[in-house]
Structure 1
Amino acid sequence: MKLTEYLIGTWELVDYEYQVNGEKSNPLGEHPTGFLMYTPDGYVSAQMMKQGRPSYKSGDLHTGTEKEMAEAAHGYLAYAGAYKITDFDEKTNTVTVLHTMSVSMNPTWLGETQKRFAEFKDGLLTITADVNDSKLVWKKAK
């Protein structure tokens, strides 16, 4: 199966590596969890979070303290929108895919289109981004 077809579906996060000044960083902790979904009709959704984020003391969905809400947001990354595959290399089993952020936890990304490079090898999908030195490794969800 071609990687362009294999992208479709749901993926679970295995690892998230982010480089800061050439040093590996774990902005969502050592063992983040998340899902990446590519739909057949051209949409992508990415959700990732740090483990162990505390619940709001109020127990309410929208009424945490300012500190609780900031901590929750600091440990979460999410966006969704359209995607488009722009290049496919059958020899290396890699694709170049554009993600357009229609919604985003980070308002800085709203409306942006960012390039991703995806490689499928040994049952894992590795995605790197051109906007930062991040590397995300995913396995197909069961």
Structure 2
Amino acid sequence: MSSQELLEFRRKVQGTWQLLSYRAEPLNNDDPIYPFTKDAQGIVIYSSDGYMSAQLMAPRRVPFHTPDRLCGTETELADAMRSYMAYSGKFEVYLDSDGRPCLLHTMQVSSFPNWIGDTQERSAHITEDILTLSPIQPVGLAGKLVRPVLRLKKIT
């Protein structure tokens, strides 16, 4: 891929993407895990100035017993954390050693505190209006090492 093609890829990534599916493939070949069920919802936005935001959640989240988001029960607070993931920060586009486009996400804010300040690499593939993202390095999920795969459809 030439530098011109890389710039074109960056242009194609820019915009708003709606989540079609989010599954995690265990490295031990167990059945896929669906962290937010097979009906997960989400939006990922890549801006022209090099920032991105990802918001992913389980459908049908249960409201708290109170309108005060800080006064939920311990169970409500724990369930809210387990059913929602968000992060935002700078992104970059680069080519891996095989010449395939990848994204770097640098998390400046995150619902998962361990990711704040972290930079993660994502393989990225666009076919027509579908973006497929997957971390280069496996991640821990539900006690297993997995490779998450997100499929997103461009909506703007």
**One fold, TM greater than 0.5?**
yes
Aligned residue runs from structure 1 range 95-114, under 5 A: 95-114=101-120
Partner of 1:31: 39
The alignment partner of 1:25 has SS state of coil
1:22 and 2:29 correspond: yes
2:126 pairs with one of 120, 124, 133? 120
Rounded to whole Å, the distance in 1 between the matches of 2:137 and 2:105 is 12
Q: How many residues align?
A: 139
Q: Could you tell me whether the CA contact under 8 Å between 1:4 and 1:95 is conserved in 2?
A: no
Q: Could you tell me whether the CA contact under 8 Å between 1:116 and 1:127 is conserved in 2?
A: yes
Partner of 1:57: 65
* AA aligned opposite 1:139: K
Which residues of structure 2 form unaligned runs of 5+? 139-146
Which residues of structure 1 form unaligned runs of 5+? none
Rounded to whole Å, the distance in 1 between the matches of 2:45 and 2:88 is 9
1:135 and 2:141 correspond: no
CA RMSD of the aligned region, Å? 1.9
Instruction: Compute the displacement of 1:141 (Å).
Output: 1.6
Provide Cα deviations, 1:115-134, integer angstroms capped at 9, x if missing partner: 01110114211011123201
Instruction: Compute the displacement of 1:70 (Å).
Output: 0.5
1:83 pairs with one of 86, 91, 99? 91
* AA aligned opposite 1:117: S
- 17-26 or 78-87, larger mean C-alpha shift: 17-26
Rounded to whole Å, the distance in 1 between the matches of 2:23 and 2:34 is 6
Rounded to whole Å, the distance in 2 between the matches of 1:122 and 1:25 is 27
The alignment partner of 1:59 has SS state of coil
The alignment partner of 1:101 has SS state of strand
Runs of 4+ in 1 over 6 A off after TM superposition: none
Rounded to whole Å, the distance in 2 between the matches of 1:12 and 1:119 is 15
* TM superposition score normalised by structure 2: 0.82
Instruction: Compute the displacement of 1:110 (Å).
Output: 1.0
The alignment partner of 1:62 has SS state of coil
